[in-house]
Amino acid sequence: DARVTQTPRHKVTEMGQEVTMRCQPILGHNTVFWYRQTMMQGLELLAYFRNRAPLDDSGMPKDRFSAEMPDATLATLKIQPSEPRDSAVYFCASAHLGSSYEQYFGPGTRLTVT
Protein backbone atom coordinates (compact mmCIF):
# COMPACT_ATOMS: atom_id res chain seq x y z
CA ASP A 1 0.00 0.00 0.00
CA ALA A 2 2.04 2.95 -1.29
CA ARG A 3 1.57 6.14 0.69
CA VAL A 4 3.40 9.23 1.83
CA THR A 5 4.49 9.12 5.46
CA GLN A 6 5.24 12.08 7.71
CA THR A 7 6.72 12.38 11.18
CA PRO A 8 5.95 13.59 13.73
CA ARG A 9 2.17 13.70 13.42
CA HIS A 10 1.88 16.28 16.18
CA LYS A 11 4.42 18.70 17.59
CA VAL A 12 4.02 21.23 20.39
CA THR A 13 6.99 23.48 21.00
CA GLU A 14 7.88 26.80 22.52
CA MET A 15 8.66 29.89 20.54
CA GLY A 16 12.30 30.03 19.54
CA GLN A 17 12.81 26.28 19.36
CA GLU A 18 13.89 24.40 16.25
CA VAL A 19 11.33 22.16 14.59
CA THR A 20 12.15 19.44 12.06
CA MET A 21 9.48 17.66 10.05
CA ARG A 22 10.21 14.61 7.93
CA CYS A 23 8.54 13.11 4.90
CA GLN A 24 9.01 9.85 3.04
CA PRO A 25 7.53 10.11 -0.47
CA ILE A 26 5.94 7.24 -2.33
CA LEU A 27 8.67 4.99 -3.72
CA GLY A 28 9.41 5.94 -7.31
CA HIS A 29 7.91 9.40 -7.12
CA ASN A 30 10.34 12.06 -8.36
CA THR A 31 8.70 15.23 -7.04
CA VAL A 32 8.06 16.23 -3.44
CA PHE A 33 6.02 19.20 -2.26
CA TRP A 34 5.68 20.90 1.11
CA TYR A 35 2.40 22.70 1.87
CA ARG A 36 1.10 24.55 4.90
CA GLN A 37 -2.60 24.73 5.73
CA THR A 38 -4.31 27.22 8.00
CA MET A 39 -7.96 28.18 8.34
CA MET A 40 -7.26 31.68 7.10
CA GLN A 41 -4.94 30.98 4.17
CA GLY A 42 -5.94 27.50 3.10
CA LEU A 43 -3.28 25.34 1.45
CA GLU A 44 -0.12 27.22 0.57
CA LEU A 45 2.88 25.86 -1.27
CA LEU A 46 6.12 26.31 0.63
CA ALA A 47 8.63 24.50 -1.58
CA TYR A 48 9.07 21.62 -3.97
CA PHE A 49 11.80 19.37 -5.27
CA ARG A 50 12.19 17.34 -8.41
CA ASN A 51 14.75 14.55 -8.50
CA ARG A 52 15.93 15.95 -5.13
CA ALA A 53 16.77 19.37 -6.60
CA PRO A 54 14.89 22.38 -5.21
CA LEU A 55 12.71 23.97 -7.91
CA ASP A 56 10.76 26.57 -6.02
CA ASP A 57 10.94 27.73 -2.43
CA SER A 58 9.39 31.15 -2.94
CA GLY A 59 6.58 30.35 -0.51
CA MET A 60 8.92 29.90 2.43
CA PRO A 61 10.06 32.60 4.86
CA LYS A 62 13.73 32.34 3.97
CA ASP A 63 15.08 33.63 7.23
CA ARG A 64 13.62 30.83 9.32
CA PHE A 65 12.52 27.98 7.06
CA SER A 66 14.69 25.54 5.16
CA ALA A 67 13.83 22.48 3.10
CA GLU A 68 16.15 19.73 1.96
CA MET A 69 16.04 16.37 0.34
CA PRO A 70 19.14 14.47 1.47
CA ASP A 71 18.12 11.37 -0.46
CA ALA A 72 15.25 10.12 -2.61
CA THR A 73 13.41 8.65 0.35
CA LEU A 74 13.59 11.59 2.75
CA ALA A 75 12.54 15.23 2.62
CA THR A 76 12.90 17.55 5.60
CA LEU A 77 11.41 20.90 6.53
CA LYS A 78 13.04 22.87 9.34
CA ILE A 79 11.91 25.96 11.17
CA GLN A 80 14.48 27.81 13.26
CA PRO A 81 13.51 29.73 15.30
CA SER A 82 9.83 28.84 15.44
CA GLU A 83 7.17 31.48 16.08
CA PRO A 84 3.50 31.23 17.13
CA ARG A 85 2.42 32.29 13.62
CA ASP A 86 4.02 29.09 12.29
CA SER A 87 1.27 27.06 13.99
CA ALA A 88 -0.43 25.15 11.18
CA VAL A 89 -0.69 21.73 9.58
CA TYR A 90 2.24 20.96 7.32
CA PHE A 91 1.64 18.51 4.51
CA CYS A 92 4.08 16.72 2.30
CA ALA A 93 2.88 15.44 -1.07
CA SER A 94 4.61 13.44 -3.77
CA ALA A 95 4.05 12.83 -7.46
CA HIS A 96 5.69 11.18 -10.40
CA LEU A 97 5.73 14.07 -12.82
CA GLY A 98 6.21 12.73 -16.30
CA SER A 99 3.59 9.99 -16.08
CA SER A 100 0.89 12.10 -14.44
CA TYR A 101 0.59 15.24 -12.38
CA GLU A 102 -1.44 13.67 -9.59
CA GLN A 103 -0.14 14.52 -6.15
CA TYR A 104 -0.67 12.33 -3.12
CA PHE A 105 -0.61 13.80 0.35
CA GLY A 106 0.82 12.50 3.59
CA PRO A 107 -1.15 12.66 6.84
CA GLY A 108 0.42 15.95 7.88
CA THR A 109 2.26 17.32 10.91
CA ARG A 110 0.14 19.48 13.20
CA LEU A 111 2.49 22.08 14.66
CA THR A 112 1.62 24.24 17.64
CA VAL A 113 4.10 26.90 18.73
CA THR A 114 3.36 28.47 22.11
Q: Can residue 105 be called a binding residue for another protein (CB under 8 A)?
A: yes
- Binding another protein (rule: CB under 8 A), the pick from 25, 33, 36, 75 is 33
Instruction: Quote the least distance from Cβ 81 to another protein, whole Å.
Output: 27
Contact 68, 13 (CB under 8 A): no
DSSP secondary structure letter of residue 26: P
CA-based angle 69:17:83, to the nearest 5?
90
Q: Which stretch binds another protein (CB under 8 A): 20-28, 67-75, 80-88, 106-114?
A: 106-114
Beta strand 53-56 with 5-7 is: unpaired
- Binding another protein (rule: CB under 8 A), the pick from 1, 53, 63, 100 is 100
Contact 88, 101 (CB under 8 A): no
What's the burial of 49, exposed, middle or buried (CB within 10 Å: 0-12/13-18/19+)? buried
Q: Which stretch binds another protein (CB under 8 A): 12-20, 69-77, 80-88, 93-101?
A: 93-101
Instruction: Quote the least distance from Cβ 18 to another protein, whole Å.
Output: 24
Q: Which residues lie near another protein (CB under 8 A)?
A: 33, 42-43, 45, 48, 56, 91, 97, 100-108
